[in-house]
Chains A and B, each alone.
Chain A
Amino acid sequence: MWKFFHQMASPPYFYRLAATLIPWFAIPGLILIAYGAYAGLFLVSMDYQQGDAFRIIYVHVPSAYLSMMAYMMMAVGGGIGLIWRLKLAHAVGAAAAPLGAAFTFLALVTGSIWGRPMWGTWWEWGDPRLTSELILLFLYFGYMALRSSIDDTAKADKASAVLALVGVVNVVIVHFSVEWWSSLHQGQTVFKKGTMDADMRIPLFAMLIGFSFVFGAMLLRRLRTEVLFRERRTRWVRELVLSPEGGK
């Protein structure tokens, strides 16, 4: 087991392995998304209260889920990087941040578009779920700004890891806000029994798994870039670039 982790943490090994893994994540992910989107848009019956507007759930929920998941990856990566000084763990945070920010933006915008016909407003400042999700977006921006403001990669890794760990508190707030406080946003429905018909739930799970797989593929691609940049002065990168087949 330790041997496996040790091997995974080796940049040249990981760089090559990631290239092999990307299609294994991307292709099933795209197939699941295609099915989930088609079923969610055309096959599933409309909701008896929300009508066809409920179909926004098929992009809103996966985006919101990934917005929190990416942040947790940054925090776990940062924690591992600080404790065990694994460079690859810090690279995970750096690679996940732009993706997390994009999915947080998507969750906010799709939520706002869904809120207009259902709540009668695009945005409500007093709502804990909406504002904590917006704070999450600012945390992503802060994390990326902090990283880019420090030239020394090792220092940037440490500072951003601390920020990521502190920001976990907000992810917990985002997740439990609908249970702790009165909110316009509906409570937990996806994993709660009896809240959603199976016909509606199956495409949603397909979208959740599909988005996760595509996220995995995009993360691996960005991780390869991050590893390549960090290792640009090493012998293995030199050999890779000079090899006849190249190593893109």
Chain B
Amino acid sequence: MEALAMGGYGAYVWSCFGLAFIVTVVIEWRGRVRHNEIYRDIEVRIKALEERE
């Protein structure tokens, strides 16, 4: 409990570490989602072209 309280600054310290974790996870997840979306779009377009040819 003492570690959580951080001498009365717990809310400030833990919110900063929590926010850093959330922001890092979100930007990494967004990066992955965008990569998969673009890859899928290209894949669909190329396969459609292949079938037409």
Contacts and interface: CB of A to CB of B under 8 A. Distances in A.
A binds B: yes
Given A109-B19, A221-B35, A225-B34, A116 B12 contact: yes
Contact of B12 (A56, A63, A224): A56
27 contacts: A41-B3, A51-B9, A52-B6, A52-B8, A52-B13, A53-B12, A53-B13, A56-B12, A59-B20, A63-B20, A98-B30, A102-B23, A106-B23, A113-B15, A113-B16, A114-B12, A214-B24, A221-B32, A222-B34, A228-B38, A228-B42, A229-B38, A237-B42, A241-B39, A242-B47, A248-B35, A248-B36
A120 to B, nearest CB: 13
Contacts of A98: 27, 30
B7 A238 contact: no
Interface of B: 3, 6-10, 12-13, 15-17, 19-20, 23-24, 26-28, 30-32, 34-36, 38-39, 42-43, 45-47, 50
Contact of A55 (B6, B31, B46, B47): B6
The prevalent SS among residues of A at the interface is helix
Nearest to A214: B24
Nearest to A207: B20
B6 to A, nearest CB: 4
A60 B7 contact: no
A102 B15 CA distance: 16
The prevalent SS among residues of B at the interface is helix
A51 B28 contact: no
Interface string A109-136: 1100110110000000000000000000
Contacts of A46: 7
A214 to B, nearest CB: 7
Nearest to B7: A52
The size class of the interface chain A forms with chain B is: 35 or more
A117 B15 CA distance: 13
A222 B46 CA distance: 22
